[in-house]
Amino acid sequence: MAPVDTYAADLATLVDELGLDDIIVVGHSTGGGEAVRFAAQHGRGRVSKVATAGAIPPVMVKSETNPEGTPIEAFDEIRAGVLADRSQFYKDLSAPFYGANREGSTISQGQRDDFWRQSMLAGLKQAYDCVAVFSETDFTEDLKALTMPVFIAHGEDDQIVPVDDAARKSVDLVKNATLKVYPGAPHGIAGAYQQELDRDLLAFFRS
């Protein structure tokens, strides 16, 4: 079983144990991939809607079939950073994650520190293995299999998962999808971007 299949199967087990139906699944970044796979493989009859934000589908890594993708060397650098000094790596990563390296950024140091705190809670092996999961998993067939309404949100200035390689490709693969790109927004959801996305998600849930 591929790691992302395990993510989706774990979620399916939780949904079964809780006896949930008519559910809406929401996922950010790698979690967006998990939401899509769960809905495609386990969601028939119980998932009513799917929403993703800054999500990795359809596939991130560059290949012969995905020439516009991100070169594997970029993901190798992430793995090297995690192994060499993950604490400093996460501190540095918080800048492009939240767009703190952009002129005019209002992201707080506290927000960046919390990103570091949450990242450090992940086990070293899990963080290392996850790089292959989010970069190399192909969700194309999962996206094609979705029949429920899907809301695809993405920051225009996402430096982690570029919008042109992800959301703008995904919307063309889903039968009933709506794409909203947030001008100037980064990968991390905070501040004005978070407030606008929250409003849009609530409207999507109620529609």
* Residue of 42, 94, 154, 158 with catalytic role: 158
Catalytic (active site) residue 85: no
Three-class SS state of 36: helix
Contacts by 110-115 with C-beta closer than 8 Å and gap 24+? 111/188, 111/190, 115/90, 115/188
Neighbouring-strand partners of residue 25? 50
**Residue 33 corresponds to which tokens in the numbers above?**
């991939």
Give every CB contact of residue 47 below 8 A, 6+ residues apart in sequence.
23, 24, 25, 38, 39, 148
Assign 16 to helix, strand or coil.
Answer: helix
CB 40 within 8 A of CB 9: no
Known catalytic residue: 158? yes
Please give the Cα distance from 119 to 89 (Å, whole number). 10
Spot the catalytic one: 28, 29, 154, 170: 29
200 is a catalytic site residue? no
Find all residues with CB under 8 Å of 106, minimum gap 6, and list them.
Answer: 191
Query: What is the C-alpha separation between 71 and 184, in angstroms, rounded?
Result: 24
Catalytic residues: 29, 158, 187
